[in-house]
A and B are shown apart, each in its own frame.
Chain A
Amino acid sequence: MAGYNDRYEVVIGLEVHVELHTRTKAFCSCPNEFGSEPNTNVCPVCMGLPGVLPVINRTVLEYALRAGLALNCEIASFSKFDRKNYYYPDLPKNYQISQYDLPLCRNGYLDVAVDGGERPGARRIGITRVHMEEDAGKLMHGEAGTDYSLVDVNRCGVPLLEIVSEPDLRTPEEARAYLEKLKAILEYIDISDCKMEEGSLRCDANISVRPVGSTVLNPKSEVKNMNSFRAVQHALAGEAERLSAILAEGGQFLLETRGWDEASGLTVQMRIKEEASDYRYFPDPDLVPLVIGPELIDRVRSELPELPAAKQQRFMANYGLPAYDAGVLTGSRALADFYEACVAAYHDQKVVSNWVMGEFLKLLKAHNLEVAASRLTPSHLVAMLKLIDQGTISGKIAKTIFEEMFLSGGRPEEIVKARGLVQISDEGELGAVVRQVLEDHPGVAEDYRNGKEKALTFLVGQVMKATRGQANPQLVNRLIKERV
């Protein structure tokens, strides 16, 4: 990896915005929907017409509390909404309802390990705050040369959580792992779709570098426009290199905002921050304070689902899985649920783990699919495992069947039948093939007779080839040994 690792330390903090998947917007009763016709999910309130007033959607508060508790935060007993004043055409009121000095949640943490597991090596990343705010609209820019931009108000008022980490992250890989863990938790507690490509999860990063052992915080770059976890990791790696080079050359850091350019794989300067913007925050007089009592906190906490760390521990204890397996399988709620549905109907939990972590994840990745979007069902996987146990199919054939199930959603028995993939365990039928192979390769048979073990592997391979992989391998072994 890059040279900055040796002499320089990278300091990264992430600011994540996540859209809550409530039915309606944060402060009005418009639908909270992605992909509607422009300017249709709109009412006087989210259009910011003269005279309108906001009323907070209580589900937004509930979701924010879930997030705060799942991220180990302290919940404020007294919280309020503030106005953040700035002019932009996607913000109809020219102020955003947000939370400033009294956020709902503070001082949380997330334990993050780069390779997904949760064991020695996991690092505790501080979460500074989680607060509620409203989203802005969308701007579309005319083609180059045109002198206008277009405004769509649909997204205005969609509820957001802003989740701010401490500058505790030390590598781009760790930043990515943090994001993946954060996404998993937000999905576990079912408050957001967390789709980076649709903008329901967005990430900005603050990054600076300093000599190892130093505690100074150098001027940071703010990196934006990263639309995948991969992009976050690559952008931060690139920016770390760039900043390290500046440090190495004794250059000057600028407090700047840089955008990630996917095509070039580089960050490019968007603007230099001359001074902090003056947002003139003040408490929104249209909204009354939030007073959060212990009963509410206890109720929300009691309704939280099992979170990844607890689930991992349970998987290790109940299913005898190694920490690594349990970590990977609980990496998303959907994957964990899939696994548990399988082991409820199948005795060997490690075998299920191998298939889910191996073939299933491989295919999901190759086809860029979420668990929920794949056509494979737990019952089909279990049925396939039982076919192997019964000797109906070989493990090798099973991989083919698995892929077919994954793609078509078919039942394994039907795939086996339709494609004639039943394992050949008939001694007479296989005996004939073995005889033919020995006749065709007399030299090799002679080698085996003389004690060359490798020759057996070759002969078995030839039988498998002749039967297109359908021969029962144990039986083939026995027949060759008998006949040679």
Chain B
Amino acid sequence: MEIYDLTAHELADLLQRGEMTSEEVTGAIFQRIHDVEPDIQAYVTITEEQAYEAARQVDGERRQGKDLPYLAGVPAGLKDVLCTRGIRTTCSSRMLEHFIPPYSATVVEKLAAAGAVFTGKLNMDEFAMGSSTENSAFFPTHNPWDLSRVPGGSSGGPAAAVAAGEAPYALGTDTGGSIRQPASLCGIVGLKPTYGLVSRYGMVAFASSLDQIGPMTKDVRDCALVLNLIAGYDPLDSTSAPGAGLGAVPDYTAFLTGEIRGLRIGVPREFFGDGLDSAVAEAVKASLGKLAGLGAVVDECSFPHAEYSVPCYYLIAPAEASSNLARYDGVHYGYRAVAENGGAYDLMEMYTNTRSQGFGAEVKRRIMLGTYALSSGYYDAYYLQALKLRTLIRDDFNRLFDQFDAIVSPTSPTPPFRLGEKSDDPLSMYLSDVYTIPVNLAGIPAISIPCGYTDGLPVGLQLMGPVFSEGTLLRIAHAFEQDTPYHQDRAPLKRGHAAVSPAGREGGDSHGRL
């Protein structure tokens, strides 16, 4: 394996044993970035100089015998929605193309304090609105498993970068599946933590009641290690859970025992219905067999309000977004439209032209939708009703978690689709988050892990648990992972149609139902 193929914990071990310096590891990663970035286009901003500086700093401290955090000196990428002091943070939007934050997000401060070496800022759907990264105002990112396909979204840049060896791990954000769906489509691990476990301070808000930051990694151990670094109470975030809701943030690697005998895992039949690709269904069903083989008790169950998740989400998220994105008005920062021919805009013209030119179509569409849902006369029927549905969806989960330790489903109903395939049809794009959205509505944690392939394209398995059950989810994911080869596979960076997956095709019937 090449250096860029290694996991963060493998790199950390090399650094600890003195077999490599952080500067060398960083060099290997940037060499990889230079080699494959023309094909992948995962990075909006590459911070090579600062990265080497940070790497040398860590190397110096290590030479002095300083006791360093485990992941110190390991490079990491950041989704470009996380504010970085002095480094532009664009949200892949024209609106913030030149925006340089004067402060850093809490998670960025935490990783920096742990010695992370930041490689740069990763591409995304504009303001995290999308499921393919095609809504980036700058360029689309390509899936390392098949360059003609999307990496998913909105954290498509982080997912593709990790899958292509352009970053050992990355931080993404997830409002309706934006970590898990691209993780699934790129064959990596992605965790959406419990709402409130990780501080949102410094994450540019999309939908405040749904947004969470989480790790995107090559394996489950990395996921636990990164979660250790970013979880915990932040006095700057009122919605941050004191003591992670558990008294204190645990060491999540302690859950990686490989032992899941007796754990009860529920399989909601509603998550295996219409719209699910048959090959994806096969891969997921085969995974259920593996979990049972590991001693888990796998049972079918029901999630009655599943069909209301997507409509509920597509009212709540745009409503919050319409308010969160009102600040982009050309007054204090960001893009400002200027009248042509030397004329001058009045205030209203400045506002409307700034926002119309600064935002892309999907962002405008959602702002319109959210504004409408909150507007006089429609609030009760749309926004308030959606919040009530949210209660019913939470109740469904709570009932299931009385019976089960975790719930399992496909992460995405389809394998990665082709660039351009869904970009004209917002509604069909929205449906690619059908299995991930309920999790955000309920505020619970969920992890996506690779569970097989279809036509050489990765398939992800989603595990969901009650609030603050990250430990259990990581435990199950880890046991599954150690029993399967997928986490050791690396994307081939193939152009066009990938013929055979590295792990070979999974068996199963062709019917997309459980």
Chain A residues with CB under 8 Å of chain B are: 44, 47-56, 83, 85, 87, 89, 92-95, 147, 151, 153, 276, 278, 280, 282, 285-288
Q: 22 pairs across A/B with beta carbons < 8 Å?
A: A44-B101, A48-B332, A49-B101, A49-B102, A50-B96, A50-B205, A51-B83, A51-B101, A51-B204, A52-B201, A55-B236, A85-B323, A85-B374, A92-B327, A147-B344, A280-B375, A282-B320, A285-B207, A285-B239, A285-B320, A286-B238, A286-B239
Name which residue of chain B comes closest to A278, CB basis: B376
- Shortest Cβ gap from B100 to chain A (Å): 11
List the B residue with the shortest CB-CB distance to A86.
B326
The distance in angstroms between the C-alpha atoms of A147 and B344, with both chains bound, is 8
Question: Are A95 and B323 CB-contacts (below 8 A) given A47-B332, A51-B105?
Answer: yes
How many angstroms from the CA of A343 to the CA of B323 in the assembled complex? Answer: 58
CB–CB A53/B238 < 8 A: yes
Q: B364-388 CB contact bits vs A (8 Å, 1 = yes)?
A: 0000000100111001000100000
Apart from A53-B239, A276-B376, A278-B376, what are 18 other A-B pairs with CB-CB below 8 Å? A44-B101, A49-B102, A49-B333, A50-B96, A51-B89, A51-B205, A52-B201, A53-B238, A85-B323, A85-B374, A87-B351, A89-B329, A147-B344, A151-B331, A153-B332, A280-B322, A280-B374, A285-B320
Let me know if A282 and B379 touch, CB within 8 A: yes
**B83 contacts A50, CB within 8 Å?**
yes
Q: Which of B238, B326, B331 contacts A56 (CB 8 A)?
A: B238
Taken together as a complex, chains A and B put the C-alpha atoms of A51 and B322 apart, in Å, by 15
On chain B, the residues within 8 Å of A52 by CB distance are: 201-202
Closest to A275 in B: B376
- The answer to whether A94 and B329 have CB atoms under 8 Å apart is yes
Residues of chain B whose beta carbon lies under 8 Å from any beta carbon of chain A: 82-83, 89, 91, 96, 99, 101-103, 105, 200-205, 207-209, 235-239, 319-320, 322-323, 326-327, 329, 331-333, 344, 347, 351, 371, 374-376, 379, 383
Q: What chain A residues lie within 8 Å of B208 (beta carbons)?
A: 285-286
Rounded to whole angstroms, the CA-CA distance of A54 and B332 in the bound complex is 18
Secondary structure at chain B's binding surface: helix, strand, loop or mixed? loop
Contacting residues, chain B, for A48 (C-beta < 8 A): 327, 332
Which of A44, A52, A93, A147 has most B Cβ within 10 Å? A52
Cβ-closest chain B residue relative to A95:
B323
Query: Are A89 and B202 neighbours in the complex by a CB distance under 8 Å?
Result: no
Question: A50 and B99: CB pair below 8 A?
Answer: yes
Cβ contact within 8 Å between A44 and B103: yes
How near does chain A come to B93, taking the closest CB pair, in angstroms? 10
Q: How far is the CA of A83 from the CA of B324 in the complex (A)?
A: 10
B327 lies within 8 A of A54 (CB): no
- Nearest A residue to B202 via CB reads A51
Contact partners of A44 in chain B: CB under 8 A: 101-103
CB distance from A74 to the nearest CB of B (A): 25
Contact A51 B331 (CB under 8 A): no
8 smallest CB-CB distances across A and B, nearest first, come from: A94-B326, A285-B209, A285-B208, A280-B374, A50-B204, A51-B202, A51-B83, A278-B376
Q: Is the CB of A94 within 8 A of B371?
A: no
Residues of chain A within 8 A (CB-CB) of B91 are 50
Whether the Cβ atoms of B327 and A53 lie closer than 8 Å is no
How far apart are the CA atoms of A48 and B204 in the complex, in Å? Answer: 11
